[in-house]
Structures are given as structure tokens and as C-alpha cells.
Structure 1
Amino acid sequence: MLDGGSFPGQEEAKLEISHYVAYYNAERCHSALGYHSPNHFETHLQTTSQLCPA
């Protein structure tokens, strides 16, 4: 799609975007997060936060 492609319709675009967001949050590793996915990082952060009283 980056090479000038287009979607046949709005529903196809929504589906493709939802698949990318799911991949981005669940699988794609980020160097700023210690090479973990956003979902893994957030789960680890929540678990760690629960162990430390506020």
C-alpha cells in the first residue's frame, strides 16, 4: 500500500489497519521498550507496579 496502492473500499482499509495494529502491539519489538512488544512491556509494567506499593 505504501507504493501508491489503494484499498477497494473502506471496510478493507479498516480490516487491514486492525491487522497491522494487532501485529504492532502484540509482535513487533521496539528498541525503546528493551526489544519487547508493547503488549509484553505493558503486562510486565503492570505486574511490576502491583509488586511495589504506592
Structure 2
Amino acid sequence: MLDGGGFPGVEEAGLELSHDIACYNDERRHSALAYRSPNHFETHLQTTSQMCPA
């Protein structure tokens, strides 16, 4: 896509964007999340919150 390519339509562009975001959230580590990926941080947060009594 960086070499001047394009998408045939809006639906294809949306699919590519959602795929890129999913990959980014699986792999990219963030310093604000203790150097965890957003998905890993979310899983850890859910697991931890289930262990604490309400």
C-alpha cells in the first residue's frame, strides 16, 4: 500500500485497517502498560480483577 497502491473499495480498506489494529494490539508493547501489549495487559487486568473480592 505504501507504493501508491489502493483499495478497490471502502470495505476492503476497513478490513485491512481492522487487521492492522488487531496485529498492533497483539504485538506492540507500551511503556504505559508496564511494557505489555494491550491484549496481554487487558487479559492480566481481567484475571487480577476476578481474584479480588467486590
Alpha-carbon distance in 2 for matches of 1:30, 1:8 = 33
Gapped regions of structure 1 (runs ≥ 5)? none
CA apart distance, 1:10 = 1.1
The residue aligned with 1:12 is 12
RMSD after superposition = 2.1
Using the aligned pairs only, state the percent identity: 77
**Does structure 1 residue 40 correspond to structure 2 residue 40?**
yes
The TM-score normalised by the length of structure 2 is: 0.75
The TM-score normalised by the length of structure 1 is: 0.75
How many residue pairs get aligned? The number is 54
In the TM superposition, structure 1's runs of 4+ consecutive aligned residues that sit over 3 Å from their partners are 4-8
